[in-house]
A and B are shown apart, each in its own frame.
Chain A
Amino acid sequence: MKKTWTKVVVVALSCMMAFVMASCGGGGGSSDAEGGALHIGVIGPFTGGAALYGTAVKNGAELAVNEINANNPDGLQLVMDAQDDEHDAEKSVNAYNKLVDDGMQVLIGPTTSTPATAVAAEADANRTFLLTPSGSSPDVTAGHDNVFQLCFSDPNQGIASAEYMAANFADAKVGVIYKNDDNYSTGIYNKFNAEWEAQGKKVVAAETFTDGVTDFSAQLNSLKNAGADLVFLPIYYDAASNILTQADKMGYAPKFFGCDGMDGILSMEGFDTSLAEGLMLLTPFTPYSEDAKSKAFTEAYQEAYGELPIQFAADSYDCVYAIYDAFQKTGLDASASMADICEALIAQFTGDFVASGITADEMKWNANGEVEKTPKVCEIQDGKYVEK
């Protein structure tokens, strides 16, 4: 039996490898390099499990590019080329190389953190200016002067959450459930905990889970017994929906607080949105915002793509405008080389350039490539996000 098992594992692994290699596919996008236009590359997963995010990033960028081109036909024009990476680091590097070969001058993307980390190293070596709309891990920017994030980095979300709670729920007993085999979740939790302790407070209970866990009764019981009345969930919305359902069944009703990974909880088919009533989350964008710019974006997006935009679309929309505005300040024209544009844009982004968009009125960047902007906190009321 033992031998059989070894064989099984070997065969299974080789099957998987063959499968992964064979399923390389072509992306999409329009690519025709024009003389007077700035060539922007976009990378994200348009197929596979993370397709929701990549498609949103592509659509948001496309919307911004079309707007800019239509609004000043005589000014600087943009050309966008989007490539699929299927949320895979290796494919993402391939997509990047293809974009470079096709004459890309500035890169928006990759959409997800692991591919973004891999592409960041290549972009550094080739001197491509990289602005990721949503690759939020600190690994993406670490050690690269040409890599910038438009979204909050994971640690900064932890700090922002702790600051918000300290200001608004000063007496709360805070408990946490986080996913300890996930960089995103542990990254946020560690910074949150450090900041919370720096405020002279203590988390009453911190519970963990790993991939594939669906039963949260032990974790919830432990939080309940510790008397936690504010539960921080730096996790994605699918696991969170399980937690909300089970907490409701055991009659445990603390205030729940999530980060940007919680965005999407209302759009799951079959989800009883009353369970999320009162849930607070840190999110840079909400399609229900009353803000004029956000509203205009949401309407344009809905008209073009037939669905409500998620924050990834807003992030990439802001990326295009940030690059467009910064590029105009550099004084270069669209015929400049990728490397020259890279150095000029780095000088702008680390200088006194301030971008303005729908995810924040003012965005500045530090030398590490991390964005500095005011976080938005929303609360779910009557099945909608309400800004706090």
Chain B
Amino acid sequence: MNFLSSLISGLSLGSVYAIIALGYTMVYGISKMLNFAHGDVIMIGAYVSFIMSMHLGMNGWLALLVAMFVCTCLGVLIERLAYRPLRGTGSLAVLITAIGVSYFLQNMALLIWGANPRIFTSLFNGMAPIHAAGGQLNISAESIFTIAANIIIMIVLTLFVNKTKAGKAMRAVSEDNGAAQLMGINVNQSISLTFAIGSGLAAVAGVLMCSAYPVLIPTTGAMPGIKAFTAAVFGGIGSIPGAMIGGLILGIIEIFSRAYISTELADAIVFGCLIVVLLVRPTGLLGKKVHEKV
């Protein structure tokens, strides 16, 4: 029973990581940069949703839509102001800028909302948990919805990337930026679209995460952001199914090491697994090996 409830906790935590990891992996896939500010966009999404529902009395689901809208705009804005001017200057400059944006967002949140923790009201408040096996196993509504949301997002996104024109353009840009431009694809638009989707999903991840783990502070997004980045690398950065598998595996490893091995060593085990995977498969579980052409 302990095993099953740990598995469900692991899947639910892993699903949050997977949704966040999508943002990292898509942005990396298309513009070959690590957007370290992604974790903080999650935090902004959660705050916006909190303010909408607590201070303006909005319905939780409506607040989620507003948060998605704000984060989408924020993502596009960050890309336009901070990353686009640096495109073509080498990865180091963009990476440092991303860290700068991350600090900027955290401190902006500190200024606007202060350091006092807020307690996020769950989107699924009032939905009773499912009891199974004679009350031994409790599955919360948060877990079910998080896992379901993860699966739906994954399917829709895969279809979008593979079946639509915009998705095709995104794949073309990620494969060869220059050639895509020559074929008449608007590269800037494709990259903006990627940031928009990734940041919109960040708002969903923020709300789902804070529904399960309700403490909201300006650094709420930092640690999950790093874990999700690890998940993206684990699954093969640049690959959408990789982000999902990486996230789920990471969540399960984390919960199982806490439950069965040691709560103190859990993080060490998680990152240890990452090192092993990267030693055996440097491109991650589902990553493609790209041959550099000279």
Contacts and interface: CB of A to CB of B under 8 A. Distances in A.
Contacts of B258: 215, 218-219
Q: Which label, helix, strand, loop or mixed, suits the secondary structure of the B interface?
A: helix
B259 A222 contact: yes
Given A242-B213, A249-B138, A272 B119 contact: yes
Nearest to B251: A215
Interface residues of B, number: 45
Interface stretch (B1-9, B62-70, B155-163): B1-9
A339 interface: no
Interface string B249-268: 00000110011000110010
Interface stretch (B90-98, B187-195, B198-206): B90-98
Contacts of B215: 214, 238-239, 241-242
Interface string A201-220: 00000011110101101110
Contacts of A306: none
A252 B56 CA distance: 33
A238 B6 CA distance: 24
Given A8-B96, A238-B217, A270 B50 contact: yes
B275 interface: no
A296 B267 CA distance: 49
Interface string B71-108: 00000000000000000000110011001100100000
A48 B115 CA distance: 8
Interface residues on A, range: 35 or more
A269 interface: yes
Given A52-B116, A242-B214, A270 B54 contact: yes
A8 B214 contact: no
A215 B92 contact: no
A245 B214 contact: yes
Given A208-B264, A215-B13, A4 B118 contact: no
A271 B222 contact: no
B40 interface: no
Interface in B195-226: 209, 212-217, 222-224
Q: Which label, helix, strand, loop or mixed, suits the secondary structure of the A interface?
A: helix
Nearest to B217: A238
A250 B4 CA distance: 13
A268 interface: yes
B92 A4 contact: yes
Interface string A341-367: 000000000000000000000000000
A221 B115 CA distance: 31
A11 interface: yes
B264 A268 contact: no
Contact of B116 (A219, A251, A268): A268
Given A8-B92, A218-B255, A241 B5 contact: no
Contacts of A269: 54, 116, 118-119
Interface in A43-90: 48-52
A98 interface: no
A218 B116 contact: no
B283 interface: no
B51 to A, nearest CB: 10
B129 A215 contact: no
B92 A7 contact: yes
A251 B212 CA distance: 15
Contacts of A215: 9, 13, 212-213, 254-255, 258
Nearest to A3: B92
A225 B50 CA distance: 34
A332 interface: no
Given A49-B110, A250-B140, 11 more contacts: A50-B115, A218-B9, A221-B6, A241-B117, A249-B142, A251-B129, A269-B119, A270-B54, A270-B119, A270-B120, A272-B121
Interface of B: 2, 5-6, 9, 13, 50, 54, 91-92, 95-96, 99-100, 103, 110, 115-121, 129, 131, 135, 138, 140, 142, 209, 212-217, 222-224, 254-255, 258-259, 263-264, 267
Query: Would you list the 9 A-B pairs with minimal beta carbon distance, nearest first?
Result: A218-B258, A214-B213, A212-B223, A270-B119, A271-B119, A217-B9, A218-B259, A238-B117, A49-B115
